[in-house]
Structure 1
Amino acid sequence: MALIRGCVSRLSNYTQKTIPALSLVSRNSSDAVELKALLAEKIKEEQKIVKSFREQYGSKVVGEVTVDQVYGGMRGIRGLVTETSHLDPEDGIEFRDFTIPQIRKLLPKTPGGGEPLPEGLFWLLLTGEVPTLEQVKSVSKTWAERAGLPSHVVTMLNNFPSHLHPMSQFSAAITACNTESKFAKAYSEGVPKATYWEHTFEDALDLIAKLPTIAATIYRNLYKDGSSIGAIDVNKDWSANFTSMLGYDDPNFTELIRLYLTIHSDHEGGNVSAHSVHLVGSALSDPYLSFAAGMNGLAGPLHGLANQEVLVWLRKLQKDLGPDASEEEVKEFVWKTLKSGQVVPGYGHAVLRRTDPRYIVQRDFALKHLPDDPMFKLVSQLYKIVPQILLELGKVKNPWPNVDAHSGVLLQYYGMTEMQFYTVLFGVSRALGTASSLVWDRALGLPIERPKSMTTEGLMKLVGAI
C-alpha cells in the first residue's frame, strides 16, 4: 500500500418548491476535460505499478488474523486497497501523503480566504497532485453546472413527511438520482470494462455536484418553512453555493464549511461509510446506489452522530455547572461521567495516538474567529482536563480529542443549531473521498468483494479448540 501510494505521489423555478434546473446539466462540461485527461495518465501509470507489484508479491502474506479480530468487527485486518488516503497513528489522516496542516497550506483558496477549497482536495485525491487555482475553479464551475436535480427527486423531497430524519431523506434522494447514472447506462450498453472508470468519473462529478442541492432542500424544508434555495451561481465555489442555498450569508461561515468539507472528506477505506460505498460498488452498482449505501451506514449512531453526542454532553455540563464552572467542578463532572460507565464523547480514536489534526485546525479556526465564545472556551477547558484524567485511568490508548470534539461547537456558533442535520453535512463531505475511491476501484478493475465467513464451531475447529 505504501509502495503504491508513494509511486502515485511521485509520478430555475418549478411549480412546487424549486431547485434550479441548469441548461448545462445534461451535457459534459469542457472544464472537466483537463482533470479527466490527467486522471487517465495517472490510471495508466498506476495500473502498471499494481500489475507489476501483484506479479512479484501477490503471494506475500501481509499479516495474521486473530480470533478476536474475527469477532471484533475485523478491526485492524489489512484487507482493502484505498488509494486516496491513509491514517497514520501519529500524523493523522494523510490525503495522498499530505497531512491536514499541509493541505490547509497548499490547497488553493478563494482570494482573501484562509481555508482550502474542497474542490482542490477532490483533485488531489483523484490525481495525487496539488491543483492550481484555475484548475480548482474549473471543478467549481463543473459542479455548479451539474447541480440541478431531476424533477422526480424534487417532487420526492418536497413530499417527505417532516418527521422523516434528514439522513433518510438524503439517502433516498441520492438513490433516486440514479436515473441519471452514466455508468448504469454505459454498462447496460455493454461498454468495455477498461472504460468503466470513465463513466464512474462522470457520475462522481454529477453526484458531488448534486449533494449540496439535495442537502439544502432538506434543510430548507425541515427548518426554514420550505423556502426556495435560490439560484446556483456558476461563478461561486462549491461551498459558497452550498451555504447560500442553506440560507447563510456570513462569509466566515462559508470559510468554516470549506474547512469542514475538506477535513471530513476521507478517512481510509475501512470505516463503515467508506467501506459500504466500496462494497456495494464492487457489485458494479452505480455510484449513486453505492454512495447511498455509505450514507445509510453513516446514519448509524456509532459512526456519524458523534459530534451531536458531544454537544448534548456539553450542554448538560453547562446546565449542571453554569457558565462559569471552575476547573475542579469540570473535573468532577468528567469523573462522574466516567464512573457512571459512560465515555467522554469526542475523546479517543481507534488508530490515532495523539490529538487529531482535524481537531487542531478547527481549534485554530475558533481561535481566529470566535475566541470569546463560551462553548469554545468550555471545549478549550476540557482539552486541558480530559486527557490527564483519561491517562490517570490507564485504560485509554489515546486520551486526546478527535474531530468530533469541536465541529458541532463551530456550527452552533454560526446559527446552525439543528443537530440532526449535522450528519448530512458529514455525508456531503464524505462524497469527495468515496467517489474518488470508486473511480480508482473501477480503474484498477477491483473485483466484487466476498470475504470468507465461518461459524463459531468452524472457527473453533480451525484453531484446535475442539
Structure 2
Amino acid sequence: MALFFRINSRRCLELQKLSSGVGIRSLSDASVDLKKIIADKIPKEQERIKAFRKSHGSKKVGDITVDMMYGGMRGIKGLVWEPSVLDPEEGIRFRGLSIPECQKLLPKATNGTEPLPEGLFWLLLTGDVPKDAQVKAISEEWASRSALPVHVTKALNNFPKTLHPMSQFSAAITILNSESEFVKAYSSGVHKSKYWETTYEDTMNLIAKLPVVAATIYRNIYNDGKGIGSVDAGKDWSFNFSTMLGYDDPDFIELMRLYLTIHADHEGGNVSAHTTHLVGSALSDPYLSFAAGMNGLAGPLHGLANQEVLVWLQKLRGEIGDNPSDEELKNFIWKTLKSGQVVPGYGHAVLRKTDPRYTCQREFALKHLPDDSLFKLVSQVYKVVPPILLETGKVKNPWPNVDAHSGALLQHYGMKEMNYYTVLFGVSRALGVLANLIWARALGLPIERPKSLSTDQLIKSINV
C-alpha cells in the first residue's frame, strides 16, 4: 500500500508540473506590456509540452471510426487548440473560465456590466485574468493601430453595393496583407523561433483595423457611403465599432461588448477556426489565414446560421402571427420538420445542453428588452421546440445554440440588415483564432497534413 501511494504521489507531482503552464488561469501581473508577458510564458510552455510529449507522446487519445471519416471528421481528436475548450455538458470555457465567470471576472467599461473583448483577448493569449489597466492599454493600442492603408480604403469604396458584405470583408483582409510584418521578417530570413513575434504584430494590427473595415462596409452598403467618423483613442474597441456603425445607444454598445466576447472562440474544430489554423500552418501570414477562415464563416452551415433563424421566425410570424398559442406553434414546428427541414438555431455538433452563449443573451434581453415581441417569440420557441425534437427520437441535442438568439437582439436595436450579421461574427472570431495562431507559431507547430484514404482503400483495410 505504501508503494502504491508513493507511485501515485510521483504521478500527481508529474501532472502538476505538466499542468503548470499558460493553460492554467491565474491573476495577471501588473505589466501592461502584453507582448513581453507572452515572451516570458513561451519558454515555459515549450518546456511543458516537450516534457509532456516525451512522457506520453505515444499514447492514444481516441479511436477513429468509418462513420467519423465519412461524417466530416466529427468527434475525431486531432487538433491542439489553446484558447478554449468546448465541453458537451458545460459549454465553452475560455482558458478554463465559463461565460458567466468571464462576465464576472473580466474588466468592464466605466458604468458597464458586460466584459470588454480586450480583456478576453488578454485571457485567451496569456491564460491570466487581466487588470483594468492592462485592458485599457489594449484599447489604446488597438486605437493607435486602427488606420487603414489608402489602397484598402479605396478598394472598399469601389466595391459594388451588390457584393455580399462577407465577400467585401474577406477581400479587404486579404489585401491588408501588404502590411504584414511576418512576411517582411520571413523574407529577410528571420529564425523560426521568432515567427511568433511578427505574428503577434500582425494580429494586433489586424484586430485593430477590423472594426474600421467592417464599419466602412456597413456604411457603404446601407448608408450611402456616409463617413464612419473616427476612432476615439479614449474609448474601448466595442464602443468605437458601435459608433462607427452609427449606433450610440449605450445598451447597444453593451450588447456589442457581450456579442464580441461570446463569439470570439469555440475551440478549434469549427470551420472558421480550423481553416485559419490550417492555412496558418503553411506559414501564410495572419491576414491570409484569417481571410481564409472568414470564407469558411460565410457558409450557410456556419456563420449564416443566425440569419437562417430570423428567416424562419419571419416565416412563422407570417403564417401564425406574433402571438401564437403554444398549440399553434407546435403545429408550425411539426410542419417544418415533416417538410424535411430543421428548426434553425437548435442543436449543435458538440454541445448536449442549452448553449451558455444563448443563455447569456437571453439574460441580456430579460434585462434590457423584456417586452420586445420578437424576444417573446424566441422565448416561446425555446419552451416548445426541445420537447418536440426529443419526441422525434432522432435528435441528440434539442437545445438552442448561440444563433437562436443573437439576431433577435440586433433586430431590436435597429440593425435589420441580416446579410451583415456574419461580419459582426467575423470581427469577434478574430480574437480567438488569431490568439491561437500566435501560440501555433510560438510552439513551432508544423504544417497540417492528415492522411486521406479512398473508399476502396478504406473498404479493403476494414475487410483485412
Structure 1 segment 258-269 matched on structure 2, within 5 A: 258-269=257-268
Cα gap change, 1:356 to 1:396, in 2 (>3 Å): same
In structure 2, the residue matched to 1:228 is 227
Q: Quick one: distance in 1 between partners of 2:73 and 2:346?
A: 22
Q: Quick one: distance in 2 between partners of 1:386 and 1:110?
A: 37
Question: Which has the larger displacement, 67-76 or 354-363?
Answer: 67-76
Q: Quick one: distance in 1 between partners of 2:351 and 2:269?
A: 14
Q: Quick one: distance in 2 between partners of 1:323 and 1:209?
A: 41
Cα gap change, 1:32 to 1:242, in 2 (>3 Å): farther
User: Which AA in structure 2 matches 1:358?
Assistant: R
Q: Is the 8 A contact 2:25 2:95 kept in 1?
A: no
Q: Is the 8 A contact 1:5 1:97 kept in 2?
A: no
In structure 2, the residue matched to 1:96 is 95
In structure 2, the residue matched to 1:311 is 310
User: Which AA in structure 2 matches 1:245?
Assistant: M
Q: Quick one: distance in 2 between partners of 1:346 and 1:149?
A: 35
User: Which AA in structure 1 matches 2:260?
Assistant: L
Q: Quick one: distance in 1 between partners of 2:183 and 2:31?
A: 20
Q: Is the 8 A contact 1:5 1:83 kept in 2?
A: no
Matched, 1:274 2:270: no
Shift in Å, 1:33: 6.4
Q: How far does the alpha carbon of each residue in 1:101-149 deviate from its partner, in whole angstroms, 9 at most, with x for none?
A: 1101110001110100000000000000010111000000000111111
Structure 1: 5+ residue stretches without partners: 12-30
Matched, 1:59 2:58: yes
Matched, 1:70 2:69: yes
Q: Is the 8 A contact 2:32 2:134 kept in 1?
A: no
In structure 1, the residue matched to 2:353 is 354
Shift in Å, 1:172: 0.3
SS at match of 2:129: coil
Cα gap change, 1:78 to 1:444, in 2 (>3 Å): same
Q: Quick one: distance in 1 between partners of 2:167 and 2:238?
A: 23
Q: Is the 8 A contact 1:157 1:218 kept in 2?
A: yes
Q: Is the 8 A contact 1:269 1:275 kept in 2?
A: yes
User: Which AA in structure 2 matches 1:148?
Assistant: A
In structure 2, the residue matched to 1:145 is 144
Q: Quick one: distance in 1 between partners of 2:59 and 2:98?
A: 29
Shift in Å, 1:68: 1.1
In structure 1, the residue matched to 2:450 is 451
User: Which AA in structure 2 matches 1:331?
Assistant: K
Structure 1 segment 202-213 matched on structure 2, within 5 A: 202-213=201-212
Q: How far does the alpha carbon of each residue in 1:8-60 deviate from its partner, in whole angstroms, 9 at most, with x for none?
A: 2157xxxxxxxxxxxxxxxxxxx996111111122111101100011111111
In structure 1, the residue matched to 2:179 is 180
Matched, 1:161 2:166: no
RMSD, aligned α-carbons: 1.4
TM-score by length of 2: 0.94
In structure 1, the residue matched to 2:196 is 197
In structure 2, the residue matched to 1:435 is 434
Q: Quick one: distance in 2 between partners of 1:106 and 1:452?
A: 42
Cα gap change, 1:331 to 1:6, in 2 (>3 Å): farther
Q: How far does the alpha carbon of each residue in 1:287-321 deviate from its partner, in whole angstroms, 9 at most, with x for none?
A: 00000000000001111111000001111111111
User: Which AA in structure 1 matches 2:315?
Assistant: K
In structure 1, the residue matched to 2:413 is 414
User: Which AA in structure 1 matches 2:206?
Assistant: L
User: Which AA in structure 2 matches 1:382?
Assistant: V
Question: Which has the larger displacement, 344-353 or 233-242?
Answer: 344-353
Question: Percent of aligned pairs with the same residue?
Answer: 69
Q: Is the 8 A contact 2:275 2:292 kept in 1?
A: yes
User: Which AA in structure 2 matches 1:315?
Assistant: Q
Q: Is the 8 A contact 2:31 2:134 kept in 1?
A: no
Matched, 1:301 2:300: yes
Q: Quick one: distance in 2 between partners of 1:60 and 1:275?
A: 24
Shift in Å, 1:256: 0.2
User: Which AA in structure 2 matches 1:337?
Assistant: T
Q: Quick one: distance in 2 between partners of 1:7 and 1:151?
A: 42
In structure 1, the residue matched to 2:33 is 34
Shift in Å, 1:7: 3.8
Report the number of matched residues: 445
In structure 2, the residue matched to 1:250 is 249
SS at match of 1:93: strand
In structure 2, the residue matched to 1:27 is none
Q: Is the 8 A contact 1:304 1:423 kept in 2?
A: yes
Q: Quick one: distance in 1 between partners of 2:316 and 2:20?
A: 46
In structure 2, the residue matched to 1:19 is none
Cα gap change, 1:224 to 1:32, in 2 (>3 Å): farther
